[in-house]
Structure 1
Amino acid sequence: ALYVKQVYLEMSSDSWEVGCFSFQIGLEANWKILQMFELEEMELYFSCRDTDFFVLSGRLRAGGAELALEIRKAGEFQIAGYMLNTEAVPLEGFLKGIGIPSENLPQIGLEELRFSCVPEENIYSFSAGVDWQVSPDDLWQFEGVLAAFSLEAEKKGEVWKTDVEISGKVRFHSYAFQIKMQLGEQTRLWLTLLDDPAVFRLQEFIRKLGYEEFVLPEGLDLALRELTLAYDFSEDKLEFLTVLEQGALYFRSDLEEETAGKRRYFLAVKIDGEIDLAGLPVIGRILAGDGTASIGDFMLTAASEEIEELSLGGMEVPMPVQKGLTFLVSLRLQSETRLLRIVLGQTKSEVLKKDIGEASEGFGQLQLGCQIGPVYLQGIGIAYKDGAFQVNLTASLRGSGLFFELEGLFAEYRLSDHTVHFGLQGIELEFKTAMVEAGGGFVNEGNDAFAGTLLISAAGLSLSAIGACQTGRDPSVFAFASLRGLRFGPPCFQVTEIAAGMGCSRSILIPPVEELEEFPLIQVVQGKEELEGLLSQVDRLFPAQKKSSWIAAGIGADCFRMADAVVIAILQLGTSDVFDLLGRAQIEIPHRAPEPAARASLLIKLTVDPEQGNIPIDGVLGSDSYVLSRNCHLSGGFSFYLWYGGEHRGDFVISLGGYHARYQRPEHYPSPQRLKLSWQLCPELYVGGSLYFALTPSAVMAGGDFQMDFTWKCVKAWFHAYVDILMCWKPYAYDFSVGISLGVNVNLSLFKLHFELGCSLSIWGPDFSGKACIHLWIISFTISFGHGQKKSQTISIEEFRESFLSSSSEEKRLAETGEEKGEFKGIDLTFTDGLIGDRQAEETSGKTVNAQRLQIQVVSNVPLTSLRFDQQEALKSAEENIWLRPCGEKVSPGMSVTVERIDQTPVQGSWHQELIWERVPSALWAPSEWQEETMECCTGLKIRVEQPGGYRGLCFTAACREEEEECLLPAPEERPFVEYDQTQAYELLGGITDPKQTEKRATLFEHFGGDSIDLSGFGEPREIFRIAPVLARIGGKRDG
């Protein structure tokens, strides 16, 4: 019921005449409309002209919101209202006020609420801005909310249907989302990701939602295409609806249920992909056959606890679901599908149901035990690591005496790009018949590296081989083979084993002589180590190195069945060529007895490196050397070094066991260990001794010592003896020392007893002199004899010449002719190139040479201080004199070289000269205060004919053949040197030396000579070519 409160009438004479009037009525009672809203303070304004018009206004109160409402009739009804509240109205209170149930809503306020209605359609709407207030404990930590509220009510018959929602955009944990929230009896929230899915980090996002324990497998890259979050406020349930590039993802959490204060969750990721096993090497096509052999249906599950049953609505997940991370994989083979489970993040293996397979940390496996054709499958294992599934199969092939074991047969499926890679790490081969047995295999070591072995046995012989290669950007190859079971050769050296090896783009690390006993190549040839054991050391012993290669060959031998010997020769090729000779010899008495009475092993190493300019030979006794007893050890070494180039050219040293104690060893000399015998007969008695010998350009030395010590309680007894010899070259100077000492020492508690008898003898000369020392425990005295002073005696220059200045060419000539030795000129002359032969004539004799290639070397046995060539000074030394140390005199040696014809006329031409520098022994040519073993001096001269440059020749062409009165040929320009292929020159030489051609030339020369001159001999090839012909154009390079 409505009660009129006030009536206002407005009318004029003009309006009355046209039938227009209006009035306003104030209504006192409230009017309830829509069965949920009430109008207060209503007013009705009515106007009547040509059509009816009225306006009903008032205040509308709904759920704490106050709106100004106006109902207008102007042809059609129009109902609209706007909010009068100055502060936001809580959403939850507003919905309850209008009769819409809502619970557990976030703190959301409505701003600028508006109302509208379409009476003809019975549709009523509210719209407002949203003020989303965030509390610290709220799950939805939204930022930058740009959303709107809408409520739409529609009456169908007597039933009202309402649709309430919030929509817009928000930022949630730094990501942009499209938000949609439906409110009512079942309130739900949807968040759709707006950012690029490629930058979305799923694991980080879920952890920020409060799931701190949630973790994805390492390396798993989920390529999202879209992401939508769904949350049910009534059930407090959170779900993810996600589409992947290859698969789908489902996440669910019941927030109201917690375990130990942690939220429960479940994640399932289905990955679309398949590994077709037909692509496997060797056996792939056999496995596939006419059917399907594949691995697929990859699924990842993650759960906060074990789940027995769960309805996912659309995604099938095998139950039960284990706690933590688990991968599920399906194997389809021979029309049968089996499931494997891979458990991640556990510390021990777990065995699940048989139809699931065995599961352990990061690995799942199935025992198959089936045969498909010649292929026998023992089992299959699947592992997950770094974003990839790796399938490993244990398989073999059998048939016709052959057995192949496939090692490391695998297929890899990468989740990042969904690519499949197949591989085979190795193959083992076994073949066996009545006559031959063979076995071997190869292995893929990764990074394009392969290694393999081979063993063949037949007729008592055994061939073993290993190899390794590196492909790819830096290829390299290594191989080594050994043939055993041999026995051939004389009894003194019967070969029992042959070995050979090579390395391309690989170097070889050769140890020092002391470590040769443990060198794997030595041990392999000895039979102490199998070749297979060498494969694990390939990269350490033979590292890859560009532009470096080596070849090796070795033998093992048996000498009179008493000694075993191993020799290995190695040639290294690279920036410098190095030759190494390694050896080990061992003698046992009795030979190869379990406990021989004596054993001695010797290790030898020879290295020739042209860049070092020396030839070093080192040897050492092996650590297992002994005599009579294993407690009687033998040790020591020897060295022989010869320098032919470099700083120490001309120097040498031979040393067995080291040097004299007073000898100052140069730094570049080796230092071998003393040759020692050390024998601990018993705890009380020790016997030992040592020896040494050394030869240098300045001295020779030798010596040794022997000792025997006895210790028992308070009693000590000893016997010591020694001898040392040091001798210099001519003039001979020697120093000889020998000594002996024996004694007893008794240490009692009250007193000590000491008895000692010793003597020593020192002899030097010439002249023969020395002294003897006698030492008793009560007195010591010395007896001197001879001159008593050490001094050196010089020799004459004639003696020096006869002893040290020998010429190899002169001695050779005297030995051939039987002439007596006459005056020696002190030089050696050698033709290093261009020599054709000797020519003997009636009056003269000499050498026939090719003048164009002539090279001569003139070397003096005396260091030179001056040298002249063709009356020109070639050397002027800063040192004006050279010492003759054995003579104690200074000399100034000089040499003059002149090239003349046989008639003693000078040779006109251009010569190239080069001085020869060598290191000579300082014991012969240096003053006594010189400290080094050698000194560098000029000793000779190399001369050769200067090669002519390009020269001019006539250029005769076809134009010159024209019939003209005069043809003037221009002189062409000089041509540069050009290299030519000389193969054709040797082919031409073969035709010229043919006997048939020789016979034809002889006939021609016979006719050319007529009756007076015999030219038939000029047809012989030896008269045509003194040396091999060189093919070149005029002006080209002619020295081939």
Structure 2
Amino acid sequence: MSDGSATPLTDCSVELRRGSMALHLPARDRRQGRKDQVAEKMTVVLGLSGRVLGRDWTVRVVSGAVGETGKRVTALLAHGVGALGLTDLPVVGPRLPEGTGRITAVAVLGRTGGKIVDHEALLRLLKQAEPDVPLPLDVPSSALGALISIGVGVQLLPRSTTYSVWASTGGKRPELPAAAEAPDSLPARPPAAPVPAPSSGDGQELVVWVKADARLGPLRVRRVGLVYHERRLWVLLDASLGIAVIALDVVGLGLKIPLAHGQPVEGTLDGLGVAFAAGPVRVAGALARAARPPDHLRLMISGALVATMPRLSFAVAGMYAELKDGSTSVFVIGHVSGLRIPLGPVLLNGLIGGFGYNSQLTLPDAPENVPSHPLVGGLQDSGKLPLKDGPAGVLAALRDTVRPQAGYLWAAAGVELTLFELVQARLVLAAQVAPKDITVALLGMAGVQFPAVPGRKPYACVTLGLKAVYRSATGEISVRGALDPAQSYLLHPDCRLSGGFALCTWAPPSPQAGDFLVSLGGYHPAFKRPGHYPDVPRIGLQWSTGSEVSVRGECYAALTPGMLMAGGRLRMDYRSRRVSAWLEAHLDALVQWAPFSYRVSMGIDIGAEVYALGTRRVELGANLTLWGPPTGGVLEVHLPVIGDIAVRFGPGPPGRADHLDWDTFRRDVLGNRSVEAVVSDGLLPDRPVPDGRPAVQRVGRNGFELSVVTPVPCTHLRVRTGTGTNKYETLFGSSTQRVALRPMGKPEAATVCELTLLTSDNRYVRADTWPSNETRARLPAAAFGAPLKADQSPGAHEPALCEAKCTGATLTVPGPTVKGVLDRIPKHRLDATSGATGRLCTSATSSLGLATGTRQDIADTMTGDTALGRRNELCRVLEQARLAPGPGDKNRWDRPDRYAPAVYTYATADPLSASG
């Protein structure tokens, strides 16, 4: 059956065994002979059977009217027979009982006609095609109502009932059924949640799970899945087996039905779960394979395990993955709780830990998110890490916390403890190594109740999240904390506490190196927070006593390189049906360091409203603003009848602070620091010196490194090279550069650093020839930023640091260079593999009377009672062997008695003899 064109099927063979065709006309239409009604009411049935692709198939095609509406429907039902089962699998199949897990038939049902209500009429129409041959599978109404359906007949055990399972396509995918419950004697276990099957590249995919809920003794089949993928049909089972105290759970146990002749039977398994219970000991765990892993992975397996004992419990979750580049990724997170180990005032309650290889750990971005992080509290909080949902659910919950990433390595360890029987805390130390970056973090949470007495209601409760981080790539060093408003209160549960704190500094290579921050509750309202400063919530209190009285308060304090800020706000409200009243007070203070200036604003407002015959409002208050130095300010009073009154005192707001002179600037801003020159490398330990003598720093003879640091940024750094007009040589910067000194009011100041190096005899050292590197740093803008204009406020809207400027240099002092000294002869020149070099001719040694030609023989010949000719011949032989003293010395053999004592220096080994 081929027309010569290409066919998409490989290894295709078709054998037609039997065929039948029938045409049925309604009796009324035949009598009337009306052609239009004949065409409309005519029923055409076709039945074929044969062998296709190595399988026996039967095809029924029916076209006719269905139901009272007489709507024409064309339907096709194809089913293949010939059992396949687990016994057809390689290796394990022959060891299974015959008939285990058999697929008795596969059927495909397709039709036209849109929505059909009368399913029974359609079923009767299908049976007309082969009235003598029964349908291979029971066809449910759901399959008859869909346009395309796939059905299989599954026989689980020999001589057991055959279950017909149909899956319809083209509509919404059915919801996954709930996992099977464990037997009464077993704990609830985390089943391996199924993972969707992979999608094919050509879009041909039919994936449906349908509920079966079939029981055969201890075996329970919860559902059957059908998958059509890449021209392959898979039948999958979700089942559980309970035997005594053990329950086994399999997910996605599959068998491939070959559609091409000669294809082997294949199996698959998406997940495996186990539950065990023996008295008080309960264990539940599962593994799940992702049939559709992320794009950068080719395999992903996740797992979870929970074990409980009378006093201890253990939980662990993890993942194994293979990346597309062939590398392997692994991570595991575990938690042990229920310990009771006393360590002085500390009681150890649990252990927390984990590690990951080719795996990236994501830290919480804010301290308030620390308690929900899996390393801190997730393994105990089922809402954050749902172990009951199985490995797939655990992996979904961890997707934003841990993910495969080549080149990353992390490890974490922590404890759960009780301090003084009052504070409950969890602390986890984590370290992560990444390409060009190292991160060390301390995550923790602490909770305290007072009094911590069972049965007594506490009147104070605080829960704090803590995050401390160091990152080498960014130079960030920070410690941040935040209160949990849901678990922090004072005096009464309705009196909620909130807020946080931050301690941060930055080191190289951060562009903000030198900046720091200490904040408790945030910043001044007028302060423009730089991008690298964290957002710190206000320290706040909110208390509502019923529906009438409420109290809200907040406060803050912050310290930066340029200023100090502090303040707060308090508001009390009373509301009733007839009257509302309020009281509000605030304080905001901003202090700048250099030059010193301050601005303080405070005020109070009291008011009331009465709702009777209209609204009557009464309000009074006062605001006080202070500035300086010199101190001045304004007092504004708000009265209900008289109106506002403003009272000014002292001088007006300062346009600019008084500028400092150099002596004051050096004392108050620089702390009397001067230029420092220290040996940063090559320094030797100090030797004891007699009393009264100054200690002298000693350095190595092979060179050392000298670091020069200036207290102010310098426009150019130069070294003195001698006397005369051009006695200085500039190393860095230029004479045209300038720096700003804000406290002195200097926008362009020339700050030259001159370095003079002298020898012990007061000679100038030419340090300009030494290798050198410039040192640059960002310094506080309050000291080295441009001076403020008359209308500028003191620094609340500018960066804390100015641009990087030169603050010194590093000079490398080279080691000594020694010339004109007789070099030792290296041993390799005397080695046998170095040709004629270092070898004495045996004929020459024999003619000289040298028995062995050793260095001792040479020394004896040079200094002993030897004829001059013999000594000269020995010198000639030594020259040929390259064992003479230093080159270029014409008189080097005039005093051979000097050569003899030093022969062990010229020759590092005895010369070798060679025939010649």
Tell me the TM-score normalised to structure 2 length. 0.68
Deviation, 1:913, is 0.8
Given the alignment of the two structures, is residue 522 of structure 1 paired with residue 376 of structure 2, yes or no?
yes
SS at match of 2:522: coil
Given the alignment of the two structures, is residue 564 of structure 1 paired with residue 419 of structure 2, yes or no?
no
C-alpha distance 905-298 of structure 1, shift in aligned 2 (>3 A): farther
In structure 1, which of residues 833, 855, 860 is the aligned counterpart of residue 681 of structure 2? 833
Residue pairs, 1:738-817, within 5 angstroms: 738-746=602-610, 748-749=612-613, 752=616, 754=618, 756=620, 758-777=621-640, 778=642, 780-787=644-651, 790=654, 792-806=657-671
Residue pairs, 1:585-600, within 5 angstroms: 585-591=446-452, 596-600=458-462
Deviation, 1:917, is 0.6
Residue pairs, 1:495-510, within 5 angstroms: 495-510=348-363
Q: List runs of 5+ in structure 2 lacking aligned partners.
A: 25-43, 111-121, 176-207, 294-298, 389-393, 722-728, 789-794, 842-876, 884-916
Separation of aligned partners in 1, 2:140 and 2:491: 72
1:298 alignment counterpart: 105
In structure 2, which of residues 559, 572, 576 is the aligned counterpart of residue 708 of structure 1? 572
Asked whether the 8 Å contact 2:137–2:164 carries over to 1, the reply is no
C-alpha distance 491-713 of structure 1, shift in aligned 2 (>3 A): farther
Residue pairs, 1:429-828, within 5 angstroms: 429-432=274-277, 437-446=282-291, 447=293, 448-457=299-308, 460-471=311-322, 473=324, 475-488=328-341, 493-513=346-366, 514-524=368-378, 532=387, 534-575=394-435, 576-591=437-452, 596-624=458-486, 625-645=488-508, 646-713=510-577, 715-746=579-610, 748-749=612-613, 752=616, 754=618, 756=620, 758-777=621-640, 778=642, 780-787=644-651, 790=654, 792-806=657-671, 826-828=674-676
SS at match of 1:934: coil
Asked whether the 8 Å contact 1:193–1:227 carries over to 2, the reply is no
C-alpha distance 410-770 of structure 1, shift in aligned 2 (>3 A): same
Asked whether the 8 Å contact 1:246–1:271 carries over to 2, the reply is no
Listed one character per residue, the Cα deviations across residues 866-924 of structure 1 (whole Å, up to 9, x for unaligned) are: 21146421122576554443344675433233555545556689632111111111222
Asked whether the 8 Å contact 1:525–1:556 carries over to 2, the reply is no
2:755 alignment counterpart: 897
Separation of aligned partners in 2, 1:319 and 1:307: 16
Deviation, 1:940, is 1.1
SS at match of 1:507: strand
Separation of aligned partners in 1, 2:286 and 2:154: 32
Separation of aligned partners in 2, 1:888 and 1:380: 83
Look up the equivalent residue of 1:925 and give its one-letter code.
Answer: F
SS at match of 1:895: strand
Separation of aligned partners in 1, 2:617 and 2:127: 100
Look up the equivalent residue of 1:598 and give its one-letter code.
Answer: A
Look up the equivalent residue of 1:895 and give its one-letter code.
Answer: C
- The higher radius of gyration belongs to 1
1:885 alignment counterpart: 742
Separation of aligned partners in 2, 1:912 and 1:301: 83
Separation of aligned partners in 2, 1:326 and 1:698: 75
C-alpha distance 737-609 of structure 1, shift in aligned 2 (>3 A): same
C-alpha distance 435-970 of structure 1, shift in aligned 2 (>3 A): farther
C-alpha distance 786-966 of structure 1, shift in aligned 2 (>3 A): same
C-alpha distance 577-455 of structure 1, shift in aligned 2 (>3 A): same
Tell me the TM-score normalised to structure 1 length. 0.60
1:80 alignment counterpart: none
* Bigger strand fraction: 1
In structure 1, which of residues 854, 857, 874 is the aligned counterpart of residue 707 of structure 2? 857
Q: List runs of 5+ in structure 1 lacking aligned partners.
A: 1-191, 201-220, 350-360, 371-375, 807-823, 972-1040
Look up the equivalent residue of 1:941 and give its one-letter code.
Answer: A
Deviation, 1:574, is 1.6
Given the alignment of the two structures, is residue 369 of structure 1 paired with residue 216 of structure 2, yes or no?
yes
Asked whether the 8 Å contact 1:621–1:636 carries over to 2, the reply is yes
Q: Which sits farther off after the overlay, 608-617 or 877-886?
A: 877-886
Listed one character per residue, the Cα deviations across residues 235-268 of structure 1 (whole Å, up to 9, x for unaligned) are: 9985545432212334466999999586898855
Listed one character per residue, the Cα deviations across residues 268-292 of structure 1 (whole Å, up to 9, x for unaligned) are: 54355633337499x867643xx56
C-alpha distance 761-493 of structure 1, shift in aligned 2 (>3 A): farther
Asked whether the 8 Å contact 1:377–1:394 carries over to 2, the reply is yes
Deviation, 1:479, is 0.6
Separation of aligned partners in 2, 1:466 and 1:647: 39
C-alpha distance 652-246 of structure 1, shift in aligned 2 (>3 A): same
Given the alignment of the two structures, is residue 225 of structure 1 paired with residue 14 of structure 2, yes or no?
yes
Asked whether the 8 Å contact 2:45–2:128 carries over to 1, the reply is no
Listed one character per residue, the Cα deviations across residues 592-628 of structure 1 (whole Å, up to 9, x for unaligned) are: 8796433332223333223323323333322313323
Separation of aligned partners in 1, 2:360 and 2:610: 62
Deviation, 1:693, is 0.9
Separation of aligned partners in 1, 2:127 and 2:738: 110
Deviation, 1:427, is 3.3
Asked whether the 8 Å contact 1:430–1:438 carries over to 2, the reply is yes
C-alpha distance 882-380 of structure 1, shift in aligned 2 (>3 A): closer
SS at match of 1:466: strand
Q: Which sits farther off after the overlay, 656-665 or 839-848?
A: 839-848
Percent of pairs with identical residues = 23
SS at match of 1:612: coil
Listed one character per residue, the Cα deviations across residues 635-660 of structure 1 (whole Å, up to 9, x for unaligned) are: 33333331223332212222222323
Deviation, 1:740, is 2.6
C-alpha distance 440-310 of structure 1, shift in aligned 2 (>3 A): same
In structure 1, which of residues 935, 938, 957 is the aligned counterpart of residue 806 of structure 2? 938
Listed one character per residue, the Cα deviations across residues 310-343 of structure 1 (whole Å, up to 9, x for unaligned) are: 9989999769888967756474845x47544334
Listed one character per residue, the Cα deviations across residues 796-833 of structure 1 (whole Å, up to 9, x for unaligned) are: 53343334435xxxxxxxxxxxxxxxxx7713344333
In structure 1, which of residues 229, 244, 247 is the aligned counterpart of residue 52 of structure 2? 244
Residue pairs, 1:168-179, within 5 angstroms: none
C-alpha distance 944-587 of structure 1, shift in aligned 2 (>3 A): same
Deviation, 1:295, is 2.1
Separation of aligned partners in 1, 2:745 and 2:22: 118
Asked whether the 8 Å contact 1:229–1:238 carries over to 2, the reply is no
Q: Give the paired residue count.
A: 721
Deviation, 1:481, is 0.7
2:201 alignment counterpart: none
Asked whether the 8 Å contact 2:102–2:154 carries over to 1, the reply is yes
Separation of aligned partners in 2, 1:968 and 1:865: 62
RMSD over aligned CA atoms reads 4.6
Separation of aligned partners in 1, 2:87 and 2:631: 96
Separation of aligned partners in 2, 1:264 and 1:867: 95
Separation of aligned partners in 2, 1:494 and 1:478: 29
Deviation, 1:788, is 5.4
Deviation, 1:728, is 2.0
Separation of aligned partners in 2, 1:649 and 1:882: 19
Listed one character per residue, the Cα deviations across residues 744-789 of structure 1 (whole Å, up to 9, x for unaligned) are: 4446537846363x33433333344444444433265444444555
C-alpha distance 613-340 of structure 1, shift in aligned 2 (>3 A): same
Separation of aligned partners in 1, 2:251 and 2:627: 76
